[in-house]
């Protein structure tokens, strides 16, 4: 292995959106040293690009790889997409900070999204998490947001009430410590308890702390359905009051009755920017979303946490109330999209594995019970750890979002080995660079920009996201036929067309195969205050 590399004859797409050009590129000591045609090879290892595209390594601006990075450091399916940096800690879910009181509830909270998790896999702080990753090694770089849930569980547990001034101050102090040590910002998950239980004073206080550190607030907003407009306004007003830069997570319009609302949502964001709010958004390129099964319940159902929910489900009257809230309230997810559009994607209990890949309607019919009863059975028998895929979007809205100048690409994948996950975890980046670019959603230069410099700028990664002399040599070499292969029925097929991927000048993919090298680092700017 040499730390001196010459990539010869590449079509370089630099990540800024500028037109592609033909050149050689030299890497030395992990950095891009020179970009010129006809560079001499000297003692460098030479890779003949043969006219393939060379781009900055892709940045997954929104994912949930927090836990899997500890368990599978080489992150093969991400590396094989050309991804070199992962942004984790989204939608209020992070593996830190925990206190002695919150350890168990934090473990439970995280496992509801990503499956069973050990107490040793949650951490006191950002620094503890980073040290654990560095000790094990990691192939890709990582950026981590602080999940609001971890802060709230540390101070209020699963209480459904406003925080007192003293409790807000404790959450702010806990958040400040993580930001100071290098966490990239705060993530809210306003449909997910306990983040959903916060009042405006709490959200504003935490956004102010984040802003004071010059970092960003990301939000899974309160509704992507009929409440989308109001939920965008809620987030924008927090950003404005706190003067915090913001990232709206996976912008979409969910549920047929709401389809067509994307242009209006984009106008809200544009208007806010003109009024001085620094906001942009991420979105994955698919017509389905994915979440945990508990999201089908109204947030108040989880008051007190999962054990309290299970107790409540034992009471026939409460159970019937919940059934109505899930199925009959006109604006509930199930009422809007139907059980047939809810597919079971991941379970922890081996006895439930045969249900993975089936929709709730069909699975319930097979079991001779109602879909609601199946949902309750899943919550009970799987300890709340079932994930679902929701077919709820339409192409026009998706295309309007994914081609908008404020958009960046985030997979939102939920990695759970052995399940039938949403294919976005395996195909997002090749899908953008390949299929959608060929369908003329954007030029290749623009596609690459959405997967690189836009995210780097948002997360303050000054060393990443563009090809320029002096930048970290995080690079991907791919061909024009790059293609995603994962589908909803065969969701874990790896993409094709990605040949080489480097992180800090070291190959993590060589000739289309993972090398197992672990050159990644947790990226994070330490701050004062």
Residue 223-262 contact track with Zn ion, rule CB under 5 A, x = bound: --------------------------x-------------
Q: Which is nearer to Zn ion, 383 or 410 (CB)?
A: 410
d(CA 207, CA 187): 10
Torsion of Cα atoms, 114 then 139 then 449 then 185, to 10°: 60
Q: Does 91 bind Zn ion (CB under 5 A)?
A: yes
Q: Does 64 bind Zn ion (CB under 5 A)?
A: no
Judged by CB under 5 A, how many residues of this single chain contact Zn ion?
3
Q: Which is nearer to Zn ion, 209 or 249 (CB)?
A: 249
What is the nearest approach in angstroms of Zn ion to the Cβ of residue 517? 31
Q: Does 218 bind Zn ion (CB under 5 A)?
A: no
> Measuring CA to CA, how many Å separate 211 from each of 52, 204, 490?
41, 10, 42
Q: For residues 470 and 32, is the Cβ–Cβ distance under 8 A?
A: yes
Q: Which is nearer to Zn ion, 79 or 114 (CB)?
A: 114
Site for Zn ion in 142-161 (CB under 5 A): none
Q: Which stretch binds Zn ion (CB under 5 A): 3-11, 18-26, 42-50, 86-94?
A: 86-94
Q: For residues 202 and 227, is the Cβ–Cβ distance under 8 A?
A: no
What is the nearest approach in angstroms of Zn ion to the Cβ of residue 337? 17
Q: Which stretch binds Zn ion (CB under 5 A): 71-79, 87-95, 329-337, 376-384?
A: 87-95
Q: Which is nearer to Zn ion, 49 or 254 (CB)?
A: 254
Torsion of Cα atoms, 6 then 11 then 15 then 17, to 10°: 160
Buried b / exposed e along 467-502 (16+ C-beta atoms within 10 A): beeebbbbbbbbbeebbbbbebeebbebbbbbbbbb
Give the pair of three-digit tokens for residue 387. 């994930």
d(CA 447, CA 434): 9
Q: Which is nearer to Zn ion, 141 or 249 (CB)?
A: 249
Q: Which is nearer to Zn ion, 410 or 495 (CB)?
A: 410
d(CA 275, CA 241): 12
Q: Which is nearer to Zn ion, 234 or 483 (CB)?
A: 234
d(CA 144, CA 196): 21
Q: For residues 153 and 110, is the Cβ–Cβ distance under 8 A?
A: no
Integer-rounded Cα radius of gyration of the chain? 22
Give the pair of three-digit tokens for residue 281. 């958004």
What is the nearest approach in angstroms of Zn ion to the Cβ of residue 192? 8
* Among 52, 215, 220, 422, contact with Zn ion (rule: CB under 5 A): 220
Helix, strand and coil content of the chain, in percent to the nearest 5, comes to 40, 20, 40
Buried b / exposed e along 340-357 (16+ C-beta atoms within 10 A): ebbbbbbbbeeebeebbb
What is the nearest approach in angstroms of Zn ion to the Cβ of residue 412? 6
d(CA 62, CA 450): 12
What is the nearest approach in angstroms of Zn ion to the Cβ of residue 268? 19
Q: Which stretch binds Zn ion (CB under 5 A): 26-34, 142-150, 212-220, 385-393?
A: 212-220
What is the nearest approach in angstroms of Zn ion to the Cβ of residue 220? 3
Residue 181-200 contact track with Zn ion, rule CB under 5 A, x = bound: --------------------
Q: Which is nearer to Zn ion, 239 or 374 (CB)?
A: 239
Q: Given the structure tokens 């320029």, which residue do they identify?
A: 468
Q: Which is nearer to Zn ion, 95 or 509 (CB)?
A: 95
What is the nearest approach in angstroms of Zn ion to the Cβ of residue 251? 11
What is the nearest approach in angstroms of Zn ion to the Cβ of residue 149? 12
* Tally of CA atoms within 13 A in the half-sphere of 185 that contains its CB: 27
CA 25 centroid distance within chain? 31
What is the nearest approach in angstroms of Zn ion to the Cβ of residue 249? 5
The sign of the dihedral angle between the CA atoms of 72, 283, 501, 507 is negative
d(CA 255, CA 389): 13
Q: Which is nearer to Zn ion, 239 or 494 (CB)?
A: 239
From the list 441, 508, 432, the residue with the least C-alpha distance to 474 is 508
Q: Does 130 bind Zn ion (CB under 5 A)?
A: no
What is the nearest approach in angstroms of Zn ion to the Cβ of residue 111? 17
Q: For residues 500 and 509, is the Cβ–Cβ distance under 8 A?
A: yes
Q: Which is nearer to Zn ion, 220 or 500 (CB)?
A: 220
**DSSP alpha helices (H): ranges in 28-147?**
68-71, 76-79, 103-114, 126-136
What is the nearest approach in angstroms of Zn ion to the Cβ of residue 129? 20
Q: Which is nearer to Zn ion, 111 or 249 (CB)?
A: 249
From the list 172, 158, 245, 159, the residue with the least C-alpha distance to 203 is 172
d(CA 29, CA 505): 7
What is the nearest approach in angstroms of Zn ion to the Cβ of residue 250? 6
From the list 337, 456, 468, 452, the residue with the least C-alpha distance to 392 is 337
What is the nearest approach in angstroms of Zn ion to the Cβ of residue 285? 16
Q: Which is nearer to Zn ion, 5 or 91 (CB)?
A: 91
Residues that bind Zn ion (CB under 5 A): 91, 220, 249
């Amino acid at each position: 292995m040499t730390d001196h590399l010459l990539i010869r004859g590449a079509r370089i797409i630099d990540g800024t959106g500028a037109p592609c050009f033909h050149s050689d590129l030299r890497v030395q000591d992990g950095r891009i040293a020179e970009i010129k045609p006809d560079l001499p090879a000297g003692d460098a290892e030479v890779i003949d690009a043969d006219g393939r595209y060379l781009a900055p390594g892709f940045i997954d601006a929104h994912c949930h790889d927090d836990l899997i990075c500890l368990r599978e450091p080489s992150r093969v399916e991400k590396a094989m997409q050309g991804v070199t940096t992962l942004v984790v800690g989204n939608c209020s879910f992070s593996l830190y900070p925990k206190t002695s009181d919150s350890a168990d509830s934090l473990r439970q909270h995280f496992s509801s999204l990503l499956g069973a998790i050990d107490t040793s896999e949650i951490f006191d702080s950002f620094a503890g998490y980073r040290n654990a990753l560095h000790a094990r090694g990691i192939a890709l770089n990582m950026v981590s947001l602080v999940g609001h849930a971890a802060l709230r569980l540390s101070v209020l547990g699963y209480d459904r009430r406003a925080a007192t001034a003293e409790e807000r101050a404790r959450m702010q102090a806990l958040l400040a410590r993580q930001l100071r040590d290098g966490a990239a910002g705060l993530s809210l998950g306003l449909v997910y308890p306990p983040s959903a239980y916060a009042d405006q004073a709490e959200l504003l206080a935490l956004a102010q702390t984040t802003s004071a550190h010059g970092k960003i607030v990301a939000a899974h907003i309160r509704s992507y359905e009929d409440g989308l407009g109001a939920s965008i306004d809620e987030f924008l007003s927090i950003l404005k009051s706190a003067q915090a830069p913001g990232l709206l997570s996976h912008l979409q319009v969910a549920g047929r009755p709401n389809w067509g609302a994307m242009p209006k949502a984009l106008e809200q964001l544009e208007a806010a920017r003109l009024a001085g709010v620094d906001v942009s958004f991420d979105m994955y390129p698919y017509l389905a979303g994915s979440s945990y099964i508990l999201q089908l319940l109204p947030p108040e159902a989880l008051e007190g946490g999962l054990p309290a929910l299970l107790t409540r489900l034992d009471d026939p009257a409460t159970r019937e109330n919940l059934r109505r809230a899930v199925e009959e309230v006109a604006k509930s997810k199930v009422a809007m999209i139907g059980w047939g559009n809810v597919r079971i994607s991941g379970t922890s209990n081996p006895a439930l594995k045969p249900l993975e890949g089936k929709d709730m309607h069909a699975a319930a019919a097979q079991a001779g019970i109602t879909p609601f009863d199946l949902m309750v059975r899943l919550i009970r028998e799987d300890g709340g750890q079932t994930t679902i895929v929701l077919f709820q979007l339409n192409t026009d809205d998706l295309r309007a979002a994914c081609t908008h100048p404020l958009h960046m690409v985030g997979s939102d994948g939920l990695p759970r080995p052995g399940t039938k996950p949403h294919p976005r975890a395996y195909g997002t980046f090749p899908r953008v660079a390949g299929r959608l670019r060929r369908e003329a959603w954007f030029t290749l230069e623009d596609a690459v920009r959405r997967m690189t410099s836009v995210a780097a700028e948002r997360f303050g990664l000054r060393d990443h996201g563009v090809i320029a002399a002096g930048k970290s040599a995080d690079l991907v070499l791919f061909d024009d036929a790059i293609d995603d292969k994962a589908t909803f029925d065969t969701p874990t097929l790896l993409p094709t067309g990605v040949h080489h991927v480097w992180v800090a000048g070291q190959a993590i993919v060589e000739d289309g195969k993972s090398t197992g090298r672990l050159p990644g680092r947790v990226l994070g700017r330490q701050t004062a205050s």
